[in-house]
Structure formats: C-alpha cells, structure tokens
Amino acid sequence: MSDRDAGGRGDATGEEAGEPAADNPPVRRVSDWDAERLRGLAGEHETPLYVQDLDRVRENCERLLAAFPDADVRYAVKAHTGRAVLEAVRDAGLDAECASAGEVDRALAAGFDGSRLHYTAVNPPARDLDYVAGVAEAEPELTVTVGAVDALDRLAERGYDGRVCVRVNPGVGAGHHKKVTTGGAAKFGIPYDRAAEATRDAAGRFDVVGLHAHAGSGIDPDQLDSHRELVARMGELARDLSEPSDRDGDDPRDADPIDLEYVDVGGGFGVPYEEDAPALDLPAVAEATREAVAPLPAGVDLAIEPGRYVVADAGVLLTRVNTVKPTPDETVVGVDAGMTDLLRPAMYDAYHPIRNLGGASGEPPVAEREATPVTVAGPICETGDTLGRNRALADPSRGDLLAVGVAGAYGYEMASQYNSRPRPAEVALDDGRAAVTRRRETLGDLTTVEREADRDRTDRPEGDR
C-alpha cells in the first residue's frame, strides 16, 4: 500500500536492487561512533542518555528498500516509537506496523495515513479495538491483522467490516531467544492447518486483503532455513486461497477465491551485536525470501515488517561510571544506567557492545589504558541488573563515559520506572544536528498519575474512600 514516492523516498536509491552503496554499510559498530561528539552530548544533556541517529535510520530504510524493491516494507513501530524516528521512516517511504492503539495513535500523529497503517491485534484489549474501529471510520484504508477468530468476532461486534489481514501461526519460528520466538508459539496467529478455512470464513464478513506470519525477532544468518520454511508455507497458503474452495456447503461464497493484496512474512531481521559478528546479508535474505514465496498469485505482493533492522544500530546509550570496585572475583564497574534504561541484557541475557569513551578527570586517554575485564552493573536493586559481564574495557575510572552500542531498538521502548527511577533522556541527531526528542523524566513525573488519583480520593467524602 505504500506510495513511496509520495512518502518522500523519491526515485530509487540509484543503486542496483540489493547492492548497498559503499557509504551505506550494513552495520554500524559502537566503535564507529564519534567519541568526541558523544562526550559532548553527555556533558550537555547528562546521563543516562540515548542518542538516536536519524541519518542512520534513513540509511537502514534505504538498504531495506533496495533489497526488497518489489515488496511493501512496514516498520514495526514497537522497536522505537519516538516521533522523530517515525517521521524519518515515514519520509523514507515505509508503512507502519503497530501493535497497539497507542502505536496507531503515535503513527497517525507522525503523519502516516490509514493506507500506510497496519494494526496487528494480539489478544487486543477492548479499548484498543474501540479506538482502532473508530480510526477506521475516518481512515478506511487502515488494515487490522488478526490472529484469532475471537478477535474477528469482536471487530464485527464493533461494526467493523473493513480491511483484514489474517495472521497465521506457521508452526515454525526463529529468534535470538526463546522469549522472542513467535512462530510456533500458540499465542500468535491461527494455526496453519486451520488458517485457510478461517480466512475463507473471514472473507464473508470483512475485506480480507492479506496473510501474515512472523517467525520471531533477531533472526541471525544461521536461522535462515526457518525463515525460508515459513515463507514457503505462506506462499503455499496464498496459492491455495487464490483458488476456488472445494468446501462443501450451500454458501456460494465458499466457491470464491480470496482476492489477496499481499503476503506479509513478518520482520525479525537480525543485526550483529558482537563487534566482530557478521552482518546479515540482506540482499541474499531478500533473494531467498522471493524464491521461497514464489510463485505468488498474480496481483499478490510480498510484504515485510522489520523493526530492529531499522533502528538498532542507529542508537547508543551513554552512561557514566560512578563506582569502580575490585572484588576477589571480578571488578565491578557501577554506572548510572541499568535494566530500567536497557532491559535486554537482564531479560534475554542479550549482549550489547560496550566502549569506554573516557573522560575521567586526571586519567590518560583510553587509547593509552590497558584493557581490563569488568562487569558493568547498574543502580537497580536486582542481581540481574548488569549491562555486560566479563567485558574487556579500557581500564575504567570513576567519571568515564561508556557507550552501550546497538541500543536503538527495544531500548528506550522497554524502559521502566522500577525502583522509582525516572526514564532517561534521548537526543536525536539529524543531519548532524542534535535535539532533545525525549526529555529526562523528573522525580515529579514518577508520581503524576498517583497524585491525580490522590486528589480524587481526598475529594471524596471520607465514608466513600
């Protein structure tokens, strides 16, 4: 559905499909960031501080569009919902895939119109369905992706009879951790062997425009077989549905082929977190995807919905060393960012590269320091609150600035206020210029909703409290 030219992508990237320009490398490492610049930003805005480079976001969009020139590319908004990022992605010509009413709301505010909005409803709360059904009245081109018959019924109850995409559980999954492997997880999608029937049923009530499946998040090069298998299954299902059904029954609709617009094979394209890990060969993945899905019925497009790939290596988290504690087992480097700022290491044992940018007063430049194995730990009262273990960092000292790399996806998004810690600030770089895109939360922000509730409570007569 994207109108990429209208979206601002302009003419093509000037490259052959699948061949990134030399100045658009497939990965940006934490060592590639300008240390001086990052030290300056941390000095000005304090830490913890996320820095998100919009130019890099644009490059990642371009690389995806070049590798998949014939596909609809939808950005999975959940990876980074910041307004500036959404606007950059919109201008690059991608659609928006949204996981909640809140994400739809953000995408609308960032200028995505209904034709570029895809709401993926997973056990959707009533409030979300009410909201989206309301949006669809004004934006009938919006598509709702649904992975359960109950959700279809609940949409119909709200008078929704618009565009629907059926989410299928392909029975095959992939991802960097079992907690993010969605294909095969019963929670997601209609089981593959029931999907054709459910789709034909849905076509009697809605405008069924697509099929959808998503293997999981963080698919790395050695999981491509699972990706291929998922894609092949989806191609097969699309071919099946484009044929008239041979179901028994009197309902004449049974005989109709389903007029699909697209097969969405999800996102999940991994990025390398370790400094020396290879980047995904995106053109090769695109080629394998096209081959596995083929032949798609005439008029049916391929769609993908990457999140991490768009934003991950465009972001770093800056944090300041406040403690250096040698112990008999290890040296602990205490910093002011923790699992409330970047949850991934605590939640998935995820690896993020960490670089010492130096800056401690009276200490030599980091290039002159010896590498020391340390554990980097945050301020949260949880043993799991570490950003990295056994990391060889240029001998850290109190006052040094650390850059935690590849933090642009699922970083700020998963931040919390646990331990009553205000969420960090974020600065975006746009054509080299820096601007605050999320202000640092204050202690006052921590109690806003509580104070409002308190006012209500104390306004009530004593007997009602």
Ligand X SMILES: Cc1ncc(COP(=O)(O)O)c(C=O)c1O
Ligand Y SMILES: N[C@@H](CCCC[NH3+])C(=O)O
Q: Where do contacts with ligand Y occur on this chain (CB under 6 A)?
A: 78, 180, 182, 217-218, 344, 348, 410
Annotation-wise, does 192 bind a ligand? no
Residue 344 binds which of ligand Y, ligand X, none (CB < 5-8 A, kind-dependent) = ligand Y
4 is in an annotated binding site: no
Closer of 50 and 410 to ligand Y (Cβ)? 410
Strand partners, 377: 334, 386
- Residue 141 known to bind ligand: no
User: Is 381 one of the annotated active-site residues of the chain?
Assistant: yes
Q: Is the peptide bond before 20 cis (omega within 30 degrees of 0)?
A: no
Cis-peptide, bond into residue 424, ω within 30° of zero:
no
CA angle 439, 440, 444 (to 5 degrees): 110
* Six token digits for residue 386: 């570490």
By beta-carbon proximity to ligand Y, the closer residue of 81 and 182 is 182
CB 415 within 8 A of CB 438: no
Query: 309 by DSSP, 3-state: which?
Result: helix
Q: Which does 335 bind (CB under 5 to 8 A by kind): ligand X, ligand Y, none?
A: none
Largest CA distance in the chain: 85
Q: How far is the CB of 217 from ligand Y (least distance, A)?
A: 4
Residue with smaller CB distance to ligand X, 262 or 379: 262
The one catalytic residue in 61, 98, 165, 381 is 381
> CB nearest ligand Y: which residue?
410
Tokens of 1: 């559905």
Q: Length of the chain in residues, anyone?
A: 465
Q: Which lies closer to ligand Y via its Cβ, residue 137 or residue 274?
A: 274
Query: Shortest gap between Cβ of 82 and ligand Y (angstroms)?
Result: 16
Please answer whether residues 117 and 95 qualify as being in contact, where contact means their C-beta atoms are separated by less than 8 angstroms.
yes
Nearest partner of 292 among 350, 335, 346, 230, judged by Cα: 230
- In the numeric block, the tokens 């030399």 are attached to 22
Asked if residue 19 belongs to a known ligand binding site, the reply is no
Q: Binding site annotation covers 262? A: no
- Can you tell me the distance from the alpha carbon of 162 to that of 164, in angstroms, rounded to the nearest whole number? 6
Which of ligand Y, ligand X, none does 395 bind, CB closer than 5 to 8 A by kind? none
Contact 56, 88 (CB under 8 A): no
Would you say the C-alpha torsion 247, 252, 253, 255 has a positive or negative sign? positive
Residue 244 marked in a binding site: no
Q: Name which of 226 and 245 has its Cβ closer to ligand X.
A: 226
Q: Is 410 annotated as a binding residue?
A: yes
β strands within 242-396, DSSP E = 262-264, 301-304, 315-326, 331-335, 354-358, 371-377, 386-394
Least Cβ distance, residue 443 to ligand X (angstroms): 32
Q: How far is the CB of 121 from ligand X (least distance, A)?
A: 10
Nearest-approach distance from CB 283 to ligand Y, in angstroms: 24
Binding-site residues sit at 268, 305-308, 344, 348, 382, 410
Binding-site residues for substrate sit at 308, 344, 348, 382, 410
Active site residues: 381
Binding-site residues for pyridoxal 5'-phosphate sit at 268, 305-308, 410
